[in-house]
Structure 1
Amino acid sequence: MTVTGAPRTGVTLRLLDKADKEIVKLDRAVLGAFYKFQHDFRRNPDAGGFDLKQLEGHDRLWSARVNREWRALMIRLGGDDWLLVSVKHRSHVHKNLDRLNYGINHITGAIEYVDLQVVEESVLRRGLTPPAAPVPAPTPVPAPEPARPKPSEEPEGLEEPEKPLFGAYTDEELADLGVAEPLIPIVRKLTTDDELLGLAEYAPRHTGEVLLRLRDGASYEEVMDEVTAPVAVEEPERNLDSADWQAAVDRSQTVAITDDEFLQSILEEGDFGRWKIFLHPTQEKLVHRRYSGPARVGGGPGTGKTIVALHRVCHLVRQLPPGHTKPVLFTTFNRNLAADLRSRLLSLGGPDVLARVDIAHVDQLATRIVSEADPGNAKRRIDDTTALREWRDLLVEAGETRWSAEFLSDEWNQVILGQAVASRSDYFTVRRAGRGRSVTRAERVGIWQLAERFTQRLETKGLETHRQVAERAARLEMTRKAKIDSRSREREDRSGLDNLHVEAGSGARLRHRYRHIVVDEAQDLSAAHWKMLRAMAPSEADDMFLVGDTHQRIYDNQVTLGSLGVHIRGRSSRLTLSYRTTREILRDAIRVLGDADYDDLDGDSDTLAGYRSVLHGPVPSLRGARSWDEEMDLVVQQLRAWHDVPRESTAICVPTNDMVTQLAERLARHGITPTEITQDGPRGDQGVHIGTMYRFKGLEYRCLVIAGVAEGLVPRASVDTWEHTDPSRHRRELHRARSLLFVAATRARDALAITWHGEPSRFLAPLLPPRSDT
């Protein structure tokens, strides 16, 4: 049946998840024809030449002409709402009409499309094709072979037939977990992991997630609880009318094509771009839930913690009464991330939402508070390295030998400033969690006297540190909060009225600065930061929402939130599905962490158990060189091997600033444009991005090289000087170094290469074959 009638305008054209995987592989000429097709179709599907018709034997699947040989396959959701599911050669469409399956999953309520022919070919291709050879290197170090089960003892000459991967589950059990029912017969035949990955490449995302989680060793009950139950609909749709299909769109991973440039960016970036804005049903529940107090969302890299925070901000703003103030604070530790959050919030919520949100990195916020109290302050801000030199000079001048400058600097930063300790008596009772070495009361007296002398020394020189500013801001806000609480109690005694939020300065009475506070990268904030934030908002429902992952803590800020007035017990959730990084990269990144323990910001342990991905790609490349000069040549070779990836989607991270400079010069000599990542972000949009590992926090790339992962650089050699003199600090520094490498490795989506010169880092031992003693 061909569509007829009056011309229509304003057609909605959506792109179903994974349709881009096929479209982006089209020949350049066909892809160009597709761009023109979608542009013209959105304007008016009746404008001749589309040959728009319903496919025989299908209720909702339609075909439209892209060019003479190619057809767009679309599900008609209702009226002028269309869902593009594939672009196929016309011969494929005609030969495989009975192999095109689509519908609404009876468990998840989401729209699914399956081309059985494509899935079967992908399974066969993955099962037969060996992995691609790595890029040649002067001294290659092959990645270890994955562990395989030992063959059972069989008589010689007999081979045990390969067992199906999912033979332990019935068809009904797989269907109850949400596996797409048309795929179950193929699932029953899978016998290797490569075949499973071939199916997952083109299967609906939920089906791939269920099967890969089962294959990872999770029980049926665990997969039901962790993967299926969070996305299951209460009442499965069975009367598939137009209303059901429209409702199913909201539960499906689709993108409405708004303009040509938007579509092009989606196709060029694939999942890499879309995961930044898509909200999984599991995440959506966290976004819209009402919490009785502070809440925390944890999860590994790429699980969508930041996008949850962004959507949470939008949700909170939309619950506000009309106004022109900014009652919602959105903050993070890193200045680069704060700028990125502003851009993404504008894209997600528009100018109306942005207008009600104060976005600032936490040190900027602290500086604002201190400047408000002391507008004439002209002190010069110094970093921790400069402050440590001042400590050393003070101890030499004072003839003090009981304590090292490093110990006193850490005590001052982590305990005195970190917890906003205002007096000697408070220092006598403050907790020193994580400091390792205990100190007596008499020793605390001496430490406090030295801290006072050091503070006076900086005051005399007109210097201050970021931690000092954070500590002062915390004390100012705590004093302010005490006044608010006192006045509130007085008003309640007089009238019984509650202390509702009004922006500071908008009325005669002193009020809390914010009603809601959302924190990204929560693991990096210090205790003083938390005390400041806690004082900025009233303790009530939905007051604080924080996201973070202590496995990614790269600064020496260890806190217990409950002791700081931020009580998250009973209101913590964890995301486990990575939308960014492949299974192969995740596997090696997690191995880098080893068996180190990580906390949950509230005194308990945190874990990456269940952390997984439905994406897959090549095993990370591991290559060593004899010298740094030779290693830089390896990096150039690797970049040339990724010639089909846009340079701005490729990056290199290294341990030191000197290595950034040297590598940038080497790339330039080979005709590859380098772009350095500074504290303010990349210096330009073109070229391969290069920076130290710290600069890569919050960034993502399709392909990434981590260079210089050598012993003595990762971790730096100075870390081991603490092994016997301060074992606690030694453990903390190794923790941070592991986390930094873990963060760097998980910035890659499609491909990761790790290189070193000389001795490889001790952290790479789990990734490398065991050394031979001969």
Structure 2
Amino acid sequence: MTVRLSLYQKAEQELYKLDRSVKAKFYDFSHRFRENPHSNGLQLKALKGDSQIFSARIDDSYRALLTRTGTDETGDESWLVIAVRHRRDVYEQLSVAINRVSGEIEFVDLSVVGEGALRRAGIQLIPAEPDATTTAETEDAPTSGPDAQPDAEPAAPASPLLAGHSRQLLRELGVAEPLIDLALTLTDTADLDRLVAGAPLLSQDVLYGLAAGMSPDEVRAEITAAVASTDQIDLGDFGAALARTAVTTIDDALQKVLEDGDFQAWKVFLHPTQARLVDRDYNGPARVSGGPGTGKTIVALHRIHHLVRQLKPGRDKPILLTTFTKNLTADLRARLTDLIGDPDLLARVEIAHIDELAYKVVSENALSGSVKRRVDDRTALTELRTVLAEVGQQGSWETEFLIEEWEQVILGQAVGTRTAYFQTRRAGRGRPLTRPERAAVWKILDQFTARLDKKDIETWGQAAERAARYEMERAGRIQSRQAYKDQVGGRDLIHRDAEASMSDLKHRYKHIVVDEAQDLRAAHWKMLRAMVAPGDNDMFIAGDTHQRVYDNHVSLGSLGINVRGRSARLSLSYRTTKEILARALTVMSGETYDDLDDGTDTLSGYRSVLHGPVPELRGYATWEEELDGLAATLREWRDGLAHENSAAGDVRGLIAVAVPDRDKVSQVIYHLATKAGLGYAQLTSDGPRGDGEIHVGTMPRFKGLEYQRLVIVGASNKLVPRTDSIDRYRADDPARYRRELRKARSMLFVAATRARDALTITWHGNPSPFLTEPVTKRN
């Protein structure tokens, strides 16, 4: 007999948390079960509470709980492992069934619910296997599910959490049947947290959504509709239900995942409610937005996985994945490699940060030896200050204002002449310019570009504008060729193509996927638009303007990228806990943000389905004391994670420190290395440099990255924001002042929302004005 054995998603998550030795025994159990599930040593037997659930012996202490999902015509059986529990856990209130809405197999465990809630619902739990050992030994053993904690009955508020919602509504929204009556009796959020710990994913999302204030229609549209099955659901057909259920086949690959721990797997986990965005066919560019942790990047990665599987066999790279920064590109490459797995499929995807892509285009099109050396913004500012000194205009214009005018208006809109500049819209620039002022600005910037040309250098913004121009010219030739082909009725173009060197001319990509879209320049978007033919599934764009840390404001529609009717907003966070999210949202209070398309975006309705510890805020008298406090926190976290982590205590990439500026980064690294004895890896434009356990970098470097635990240091007044740099704009250029404040808020917001499990924010002296809540701890 051949037995097919699969692992339920929540069972896989439970296994991550168990000791390494238990995981090894489970893997051995899986081999033995597949050979003969009915062997005496496995002790397979049905539970008393639910005849659909069976218990089988892993070792003296642990049991696998399984359900039979079918037998084929040859007699081969299929089984699903739905949980791995200690033998003295409570099994009486376990049930497995098929969800009437999603059609998936669902496992419900009421043993993790607090005693107060169970008592109100009239439920009493009895251990599955009473033990004959001593009372003291029994008291030391676990008495409920893996995440359960003993609890005292909380004081009940006046009304249930879900007052006003009916049993029928919960049933229609997809809540598992055994949970409905109990959910309606809950009067405490702690009980709700324990209830959903034993609930299927759909039930968890629906109950958290309703408790957070979402209306039934919002829950139906954002949660239930995304996973509702279009099949006719037979509540007794477990074989058909298995095909609709997220499971993992138990094999050697699974053993590696379990041994490596869950953090890497979690970083590419696609929530079922997001699958519709991944698999859908779009008749043009599509955009997904949402706050941190809502899964935008994961959706983008799974979108690539979906698209690459649809390709015809070949060796070209018709799919592009791009983003704004080099270090995020490295992270995306690693995550996509984990997700796709197949090197042949991965080879069909080009992964490049946007400026790298622009450089490639410029290099291909420029004459031999004419590719200029690119310089950063600081070098450009120095060159512009020299020009201002030469023309005697040092006190007349702010160099930062002129650079931004040049990058955002002149380069961003490809303004080529003085006359065109007089007629160009300057939306979002704040300070208005009269015609004489525009003439003066043009003259200065004309001299500035001449100086750069003379030194044979260019900025990244110039390179992006040149790349956009080259690609738009290429797209124009492609369009002209197609128009001629249509005109002559599709007749042979060999001779015309040979004369014009156009025989191999085609768009570079079939599909383009953009992550962290909010930071791209207008020229970047023009280049990308020209790189792919307009049509079905041409562009997929993920971004959140609340996380914009570079001052690039664009309107996609004005750049030929129309996402109207093909935009989705994610509002449920599956990474950031409620506690971390609540702290981060206070940073953003009172600000408004655009939606990349002439509208406004909002974080209203942004909710988390996760709970965790409340972020700690700590103030210190001096920077040196703050660094000592940082070292103590990092040691505690490192030792705790090393004990929890099954991968030989390796905590690299799990803990990070976000710092306001580069000088402070150097000081943090020096303190960790020389005084604290902690290893570090510095986040650079190319990713982490070094193999130390603690990642350290400036706040912008954390864009798109994720860590289990994170400390923000130096969140002090005058550092966040840098008042010495922006206060001069307060009176002379209020719009610029507001933009700088917004950027500083966004950087702090980005850093705070990189943490999954724990966040600590510290400062010395007075705290940042963005930390508006009362201080919780002062050292």
Match of 2:570 among 563, 568, 575: 575
- The AA in structure 2 aligned to 1:671 is G
Query: Is the contact made by 2:618 and 2:775 (CA closer than 8 Å) also made in structure 1?
Result: no
SS of the residue 2:569 aligns to = strand
Paired residues for 1:178-577 under 5 Å: 178-235=174-231, 237-249=233-245, 252=246, 254-259=247-252, 262-263=254-255, 265-266=257-258, 269-270=261-262, 272-349=263-340, 350-374=342-366, 375-377=368-370, 379-400=372-393, 401-496=395-490, 508-577=503-572
- Match for 2:100 among 106, 119, 122? 106
Q: Deviations over 1:612-632 (max 9, x none)?
A: 222111110011000111111
Whole-Å separation in 1 of the counterparts to 2:573 and 2:547: 15
The SS at the match of 1:762 is coil
Displacement after TM superposition at 1:451 (Å): 1.5
Cα distance in 2 between the residues matched to 1:304 and 1:650: 20
1:1-30 CA-partner distances (Å, limit 9, x unpaired): xxxxx4x37x4432422x355445546654
Instruction: Give yes or no for contact 2:616–2:776 (8 Å, CA) kept in 1.
Output: no
CA distance in 2, matches of 1:620, 1:220: 31
SS in 2 for 1:763: coil
CA deviations over 1:150-208 (Å, ceiling 9, x no partner): xxxxxxxxx99632212322222222222221122322321112222222223222222
Equivalent pair of 1:709/1:756 in contact (CA under 8 Å): yes
Residues 67 and 407 of structure 1: CA distance in aligned 2, closer, same or farther (over 3 Å): same
1:506–1:738 distance in 2 versus 1, CA, 3 Å: farther
1:696–1:321 CA distance, 2 compared to 1 (3 A): same
- Matched AA of 1:37: F
Q: Do the aligned residues in 1 keep the contact of 2:681 with 2:690 (CA within 8 Å)?
A: yes
Please give the alpha-carbon distance, in whole angstroms, between the structure 1 residues aligned to 2:733 and 2:777: 31
Select which of 1, 25, 30 maps to 1:33.
Answer: 25
Q: Deviations over 1:213-260 (max 9, x none)?
A: 2122222232222222222223462342243222232xx4x3334426
Shift of 1:289: 1.8
Provide the C-alpha distance between the structure 2 equivalents of 1:353 and 1:371, rounded to a whole number of angstroms: 27
- Residues 678 and 48 of structure 1, relative CA distance in 2, 3 Å threshold: farther
Which residue in 1 is equivalent to 2:126?
none
Q: Is the 8 A contact 2:170 2:180 kept in 1?
A: yes
Displacement of 1:517 in angstroms is 1.4
Overall identity of the aligned pairs, in %: 52
**Could you list the per-position Cα deviations for residues 620-667 of structure 1 after superposition, in whole angstroms to 9, with x for gaps in the alignment?**
001100011111121122223322114321111111222222222322
- The question of whether the paired residues in 2 share the 8 Å contact of 1:75 and 1:84 is answered with yes
Partner of 1:135: none
Q: Secondary structure at the match of 1:765?
A: coil
- CA–CA distance in 2 between the matches of 1:490 and 1:600? 38
1:87 to partner: Cα distance: 1.9
In 2: Cα distance, 1:188 partner to 1:281 partner: 25
Cα 1:313–1:43 change in 2 (3 A) is farther
Task: Say if 1:334 and 1:76 are closer, same or farther in 2 by CA, change over 3 A.
Answer: farther
**1:3 is matched with which residue?**
none
Change (3 A) 1:197 1:57: closer
| 1:590-623 Cα distance to aligned partner (Å, 9 max, x none) | 1211120011100101112222222111110011
Q: Give the structure 2 partner of residue 150 of structure 1.
A: none
Between the aligned partners of 1:536 and 1:429, the Cα distance in structure 2 is: 28
Does residue 644 of the first structure (1) align with residue 650 of the second (2)? Answer: no
Counterparts of 1:472 and 1:496, CA distance in 2: 33
Give unmatched runs, 5+ long, in structure 2. Answer: 72-76, 119-147, 643-650
> CA deviation digits over 1:571-590, x for unaligned, max 9?
11111222211111111111
Q: Which amino acid aligns with 2:563?
A: I
Q: Which amino acid aligns with 1:736?
A: K
CA pair 92-339 structure 1, distance change in 2 beyond 3 A: closer
Change (3 A) 1:618 1:403: same
RMSD: 2.9
Query: Which of 747, 750, 769 is equivalent to 1:743?
Result: 750
Instruction: Report the counterpart of residue 86 of structure 1 in structure 2.
Output: 83
Quick one: distance in 2 between partners of 1:552 and 1:161? 37
CA distance 1:242–1:325, shift in 2 (3 Å): same
Map of 1:694-773 to 2, 5 A cutoff?
Answer: 694-717=700-723, 718-766=725-773, 768=775
Q: How many residues align?
A: 724
> In the aligned structure 1, how far is the partner of 2:114 from the partner of 2:190?
13
- On the 8 A contact 1:106/1:236 being kept in 2, the answer is no
1:345: how far off?
2.7
Question: Which residue type is aligned with residue 534 of structure 1?
Answer: R
Q: Secondary structure at the match of 1:753?
A: strand
Change (3 A) 1:61 1:47: same
Rounded Cα–Cα distance in structure 1 between residues aligned with 2:596 and 2:407: 18
Q: Could you tell me whether the CA contact under 8 Å between 1:420 and 1:472 is conserved in 2?
A: no
Distance of aligned partners of 1:740 and 1:38 in 2 relative to their CA distance in 1, 3 Å threshold: farther
Cα contact 1:122–1:199 (8 A) shared by 2: no
Following the alignment from structure 1 to structure 2, what is the Cα–Cα distance between the partners of residues 461 and 72? 71
User: Match for residue 121 of structure 2?
Assistant: none
Measure, in 2, the Cα distance between the counterparts of 1:352 and 1:681. Answer: 25
The answer (yes or no) to whether the contact 1:522–1:547 under 8 Å persists in 2 is yes
Alpha-carbon spacing, 1:506–1:690, altered in 2? closer, same or farther (3 Å): farther
Counterpart in the other structure of 2:6? 13
| Secondary structure class of the residue paired with 1:675 | strand
Q: Is the 8 A contact 2:115 2:152 kept in 1?
A: no
TM-score (norm 2): 0.87
Q: 1:616 aligns with which of 602, 611, 628?
A: 611
Deviation at residue 405 of structure 1 after TM alignment: 1.7
Structure 1 unaligned segments of length 5 or more: list them.
Answer: 1-5, 132-158
Please give the alpha-carbon distance, in whole angstroms, between the structure 2 residues aligned to 1:732 and 1:297: 24
Per-residue CA shift, 1:47-103, capped at 9, x if unaligned?
77323344456454222211123211122323554322222233446xx34x21111
How far apart are residue 699 of structure 1 and its match?
A: 1.4
Equivalent of 2:694, from 684, 688, 699? 688
8 A Cα contact 1:292 1:540, kept in partner: yes
Contact 1:287 1:311 in 2 (8 A): yes
In the superposition, relative to structure 1, how do residues 395 and 589 fare at CA in structure 2: closer, same or farther (>3 Å)? same
Structure 2 counterpart SS, 1:376: coil
C-alpha distance in 2 between matches for 1:168 and 1:682: 51
In 2, distance between residues paired with 1:465 and 1:635? 38
Kindly state the Cα deviation for residue 567 of structure 1 after the two structures are TM-superposed: 1.1
8 Å CA contact 1:127, 1:192 repeated in 2: no
**Deviation by residue 1:84-124 (Cα, 9 ceiling, x = unmatched):** 2222233446xx34x21111111222221112223345968
Residues 121 and 205 of structure 1, relative CA distance in 2, 3 Å threshold: farther
